[in-house]
Amino acid sequence: MAFPRPNPRSDLRLQKYLADCGVGSRRACELLIAEGRVSVDGAKILEQGVRVDPSRVSVTVDGRPVWPERPVHILLHKPSGFLCTSRDPHGRRTFHELLPPGLGARVYSAGRLDWDSEGLLLVTNDGELANRLIHPRHHVEKTYCIWTPAPLDPVWMERFAAGVESEGERLAARSARSLGRDGFGYRCEMVLGTGKNRQIRRMFEAAGQPVLRLLRVRFGPLDLGDLAPGAWRYLTPPELSALRRATGSGPGAMAGVAGPHDRPTQSARDFD
């Protein structure tokens, strides 16, 4: 297929354009291309790095056209019992059920919380920002509260920071501290930068303590505050600016509203 001559003012890498359209993070969009689900002017694209001028070509995912949509940034308090995915083949509940009807944008979560984890979840269609937030090189910290049925020996707080072995991997926290006892059990606070799948639960298993409850209370500059489980709110302009500063990103390139389309599940995992 012959593409138009590149125009530096309007041409974009295909995966970036898809991310700007809210299809997913740039990493997820690269996977869509590799799977042969993206076409330009009807021709299936399989290689990465193809440049497109959206004003001159038609881009589709699974046969459905995509185009930039208005940016959406939502802070959601995800309760336990909800999946961070767009759809589940087993019919389990997803975080989409908690969002306002008629949102008018195709959104997904920037990072994930497991089905049985709770707390702050950033929901957006800003693929560039989401990619930066979950990419290890940006080291965006996440803060969690963890409840256990019995107190941990204080030495474990130091071990968590130094790193513990689990399933052949070394898992470490930025910091960990005990916060005493409350109505849910014995509470600890842990801060992670980069991490592994179900890292916190695995670290506490290594310490011989099951996790009764896991709640994310902070994501970079965002704070869960007193937002009730299942409730949501839009980010404020200062919060969005703080997020962009934390990742070194500029404003997204979104404008307008796209039609309905089921977005793919992110391939990146969070690390609770």
Q: What is the dihedral of CA 256, 16, 108, 247, to 10 degrees?
A: -110
CA distance 202 to 38: 37
> Which pLDDT score is estimated for 251?
52
> Which pLDDT score is estimated for 213?
97
> Which pLDDT score is estimated for 26?
82
Residue 205 lies in a domain: yes
**146 plus 215 within the same structural domain:** yes
Q: Which residues are catalytic?
A: 114
- 98, two tokens: 């908690």
Residue 272 lies in a domain: no
Residue 183 lies in a domain: yes
**59 plus 162 within the same structural domain:** no
**148 plus 211 within the same structural domain:** yes
Are 258 and 69 in contact, with CB atoms under 8 Å apart?
Answer: yes
| Other beta carbons less than 10 A from residue 154's beta carbon | 10
Residue 1 lies in a domain: no
**175 plus 211 within the same structural domain:** yes
Q: What is the pLDDT along the chain (272 residues), one digit of tens a residue?
A: 444 343 434 588 999 899 878 788 788 899 999 999 999 999 999 999 899 998 889 999 999 998 877 889 999 999 999 999 888 889 899 999 999 887 867 888 998 899 999 999 999 988 788 888 887 777 889 999 999 999 999 999 999 999 999 988 999 999 999 999 999 999 999 999 876 889 999 999 999 999 999 999 999 999 999 999 999 999 999 999 999 998 876 554 343 323 333 333 333 344 46
**133 plus 81 within the same structural domain:** yes
Structural domain span for residue 89: 73-137+222-247
CA distance 9 to 61: 24
**227 plus 132 within the same structural domain:** yes
CATH number, position 107: 3.30.70.580
> Which pLDDT score is estimated for 250?
57
Number of domains the chain is built from: 3
CATH number, position 170: 3.30.2350.10
Residue 254 lies in a domain: no
Give the CA angle between residues 161, 197, 87 to the nearest 5°. Answer: 145
Residue 253 lies in a domain: no
**22 plus 55 within the same structural domain:** yes
Residues 6 or more apart whose Cβ sits within 8 Å of residue 119:
77, 78, 113, 144, 214, 215, 216, 217, 224
CA contacts within 13 A on the Cβ side of 176: 24
**235 plus 121 within the same structural domain:** yes
CATH number, position 50: 3.10.290.10
**176 plus 107 within the same structural domain:** no
Residue 177 lies in a domain: yes
Are 145 and 179 in contact, with CB atoms under 8 Å apart?
Answer: yes
